[in-house]
A = this chain, B = another copy of it.
Amino acid sequence: MFKVNYQSRVPVYKQLYESVLRMVSLGVLKPNDKLPTVRALATDLGINPNTVSKAYSMLEHDGYIYSTAGKGSFIAESFSEDTATRLTALRTLKTAVKSSMLSGVTKEDALSAVEDIYNGGDADDRV
């Protein structure tokens, strides 16, 4: 269900964090669904339980899941598929903006690109 890339520079706990967000945005996980226990997921992935615990703590801190001792961790009620999708989309967008900036795209061009799209312009239009 969850996968981590050990060769990646991205910390494992962060990969787990984002995996949960992705699961919700894809509709695989829904509000009040139960997440695997820390130990189960740790042994399943062959990683340290501390790492899983760290990811869950961050998710709880950010209000995306809630945990109750003895029962487990669950997707927060407020964390619907829609909000998850919008959230991940916004993050992807930021990454795209950043890489375009690093490629020499000026701020004006970037802003007008956004305007263009939201005003009905087609992404495939010649620039």
Residues of A within 8 A of B (CB): 6-7, 9, 18, 21-22, 24-27, 58, 61-62, 66-68, 71, 74, 77, 79-80, 82, 85-107, 109-111, 113-118, 121, 123, 126-127
- Does B123 contact A98, Cβ atoms closer than 8 Å? yes
- Does B86 contact A104, Cβ atoms closer than 8 Å? yes
Which 9 pairs from chain A and chain B are nearest by CB?
A: A89-B103, A96-B96, A80-B104, A94-B123, A93-B100, A89-B100, A86-B104, A98-B123, A107-B118
In the assembly, what is the distance between CA of A111 and CA of B103, in Å? 19
- Expressed in whole angstroms, the minimum distance between the Cβ of A126 and any Cβ of chain B is 6
- Does B61 contact A107, Cβ atoms closer than 8 Å? no
- Expressed in whole angstroms, the minimum distance between the Cβ of A123 and any Cβ of chain B is 4
Can you give 15 A-B contacts (C-beta < 8 A)?
A7-B68, A7-B74, A21-B101, A25-B101, A61-B61, A85-B104, A86-B105, A89-B103, A90-B110, A92-B96, A93-B113, A94-B113, A94-B116, A96-B97, A111-B111
